[in-house]
Structure 1
């Protein structure tokens, strides 16, 4: 009887996996492109400017988001990468990094896994060029050479989470079931021909509108698949275990894109729209006189009570 139950359960699992992959619009694993050898080459491979011709409004929204400057950040991210090198890689006894020239793509993936996932398509020279560019940008600030600052900042901003990172490279999560993103296809909500010289087709990817898609970067916590896991974004874990587990049903996209009205200008704590959606704040204050002692006499004091209620589907703040 027990064997029959186990066999039945196994058959159910296989059927479930088959059904899960039944609507995948991917294909076989494509041959990898040659590794990009410079920042310029990698940036051109993922340049979003050609999308602007047909999707100007969406491109404008995206341009205002931190996705458009994922390495530069607010600009807090770029300096944090240098901190991770100086206070991390160069201190870890087995990292193999004692100077910038030792840095490889593998080392930077501690940050780039989310901030620049396409870095895995580049040579180690590109990893070192990124570090050198950030250091040069910081030095230009210290020197007051703002023309150089602008020049180097433009280079750093050219490395970002652009259209084809989400709508091609990261479009499929369960690749063995749903297939791999094809090099001639843009994935979204439509199927058919696509007026572009490179991406000539459109197709659907099953997870693109689901929270799990965002969870690839805004994740569960430490990236345990890396040689040296980093504890970073835990939003998706918080969303699953605190929000969905208690009956929450809205997705990341529903709040950050649709209800907010921001579309591809996906914002968080710096946006008035998202602040209004995320928290209720109540402030109460009163003043009174308090007799402290004979020498000081009667002193005025104030009492302020601040209550913040989290309405978001995850902890605040997080990334």
Structure 2
């Protein structure tokens, strides 16, 4: 602590002293008795990483637990029970709830189910949950059984970073007669840095040592994501979430972070947009409509391309897309629709979803399904064309709309207690074509 205080104080007293302190100070671990790293709250990180913290705070990673995500919370209540109670088990298996290894990883490390017992538990997938993943070992163990969430990783008591602090060259030069050593990365107004290995004082607060090391293979590749987002099965072995499997089948060589954590303003976007992020949904699809009209009919073609290296939609199996195609007269009144009710009933080809079934082939919910149902989703990079014939009389405009839903229509009807913003369809693409007057 004394060395770091001296370092900060000498920033205005000349570069030689500053350089010697930075480059010769050995890395130190957290002080004895300090909080385990997996209990470090993201509130602590916000002291320096304000913009990143704000992005993360609005993300679904920050809202991943049964306390914060109403949809996950409903299923958790059904399958496990009270997320604020200790000693809860999965009702059918009698075991520790596997969902916590992804949705509340810091609590899972402590084998606790009382998610309000510590801030780092309630924060779900918080800063340290991702930045302590050291090595990805795959989602299958030696016997072929699935490893969920953090169980697929070796974990570290040091923070893992995409780059870290590559200063060994400066250390070598600092040992020479040239005290400046060519090091120019420090600046006089730089804040104390707890990632160098010692606690620091910042704005009257003591920030514990949070030693950081470079681990680009883990943090800059899809390995950082696959433990939770590759494949999840229900108790009957039926695949539910299977984004990683789709990603591999799509043959893409880009990392998940390329789309979900684009770099802007010098750092990666930690809002990590997905199915709850409207802008992410809108840029995931190319949507177009063409028409060819004669006196009797209008031939309309809807053209959809999935820009994603995984299925669209992906993730939770109850997410879905649907197409609404409508013909209007000159007054804006509806003359024709591809589906009077929801397309899942009236125009199944315009409904894009992953179905689950029971032994008889009837639709089934995720916990009880015994086999996959129909999968009509857009596959990775797929282009799909839907052709329609519309009566031409009186039509002035044909409009195509593509909607995204977090829940199957049956679940929307069932879960009436959910907020409207989670059950209402989100319009993610529109295309219009005016029809010439006869």
TM-score band, normalised by shorter chain: 0.5 to 0.7
Q: 2: CA distance between counterparts of 1:316 and 1:306?
A: 16
Match of 1:167 among 118, 126, 131: 131
The alpha carbon displacement at 1:235 in A equals 0.9
Instruction: Indicate the residue corresponding to 2:196 in structure 1.
Output: 193
Residue pairs, 1:252-271, within 5 angstroms: 252-258=256-262, 263-271=269-277
* TM-score of the two chains, using structure 1 as the length reference: 0.57
Q: 2: CA distance between counterparts of 1:156 and 1:199?
A: 17
Residue pairs, 1:281-300, within 5 angstroms: 281-284=287-290
Q: In structure 1, the residue corresponding to 2:229 is in which secondary structure? A: coil
Aligned partners of 1:260 and 1:274 also within 8 Å:
no
Cα distance change of structure 1 residues 199 and 222 upon mapping to structure 2, 3 Å threshold: farther
Pairs aligned (count): 220
Aligned partners of 2:104 and 2:122 also within 8 Å:
no
Aligned partners of 1:43 and 1:159 also within 8 Å:
no
Matched, 1:311 2:307: yes
Gaps of 5+ in 2: 1-32, 82-88, 139-152, 166-194, 200-206, 316-438
Q: 1: CA distance between counterparts of 2:38 and 2:218?
A: 27
The alpha carbon displacement at 1:284 in A equals 4.5
The C-alpha deviation readout for 1:68-95, integer Å capped at 9, x for no partner, is 0111454211111113348x954x4xx3
Cα distance change of structure 1 residues 308 and 259 upon mapping to structure 2, 3 Å threshold: farther
Name whichever of 68-77 and 277-286 sits farther off. Answer: 277-286
Whose RCO is larger (CA < 8 A, sep 6+)? Answer: 1
Instruction: Indicate the residue corresponding to 1:294 in structure 2.
Output: none
Matched, 1:239 2:247: yes
Matched, 1:216 2:227: yes
The C-alpha deviation readout for 1:19-63, integer Å capped at 9, x for no partner, is xxxxxxxxxxxxxx9xxxxxxx99991411000111111101101
Instruction: Indicate the residue corresponding to 2:254 in structure 1.
Output: 250
Cα distance change of structure 1 residues 157 and 202 upon mapping to structure 2, 3 Å threshold: closer
Instruction: Indicate the residue corresponding to 1:278 in structure 2.
Output: 284
**Larger strand share, 1 or 2:** 2
Q: 1: CA distance between counterparts of 2:264 and 2:292?
A: 35
The C-alpha deviation readout for 1:200-250, integer Å capped at 9, x for no partner, is 321012311101221111113438xxx8757332111111122x2xxx321
Cα distance change of structure 1 residues 157 and 107 upon mapping to structure 2, 3 Å threshold: closer
The alpha carbon displacement at 1:182 in A equals 3.9
Aligned partners of 2:64 and 2:125 also within 8 Å:
yes
Aligned partners of 2:136 and 2:224 also within 8 Å:
yes
Aligned partners of 2:261 and 2:272 also within 8 Å:
yes
Q: 2: CA distance between counterparts of 1:252 and 1:181?
A: 21
Q: 1: CA distance between counterparts of 2:212 and 2:254?
A: 26
The alpha carbon displacement at 1:310 in A equals 0.3
Aligned partners of 1:70 and 1:157 also within 8 Å:
no
Instruction: Indicate the residue corresponding to 2:77 in structure 1.
Output: 82
The C-alpha deviation readout for 1:171-202, integer Å capped at 9, x for no partner, is 32259xxx95442x211021361565444321
* TM-score of the two chains, using structure 2 as the length reference: 0.43
Aligned partners of 2:39 and 2:106 also within 8 Å:
no
Cα distance change of structure 1 residues 268 and 51 upon mapping to structure 2, 3 Å threshold: same
Instruction: Indicate the residue corresponding to 1:113 in structure 2.
Output: 101
Instruction: Indicate the residue corresponding to 1:6 in structure 2.
Output: none
Aligned partners of 1:220 and 1:236 also within 8 Å:
yes
Aligned partners of 2:41 and 2:120 also within 8 Å:
no
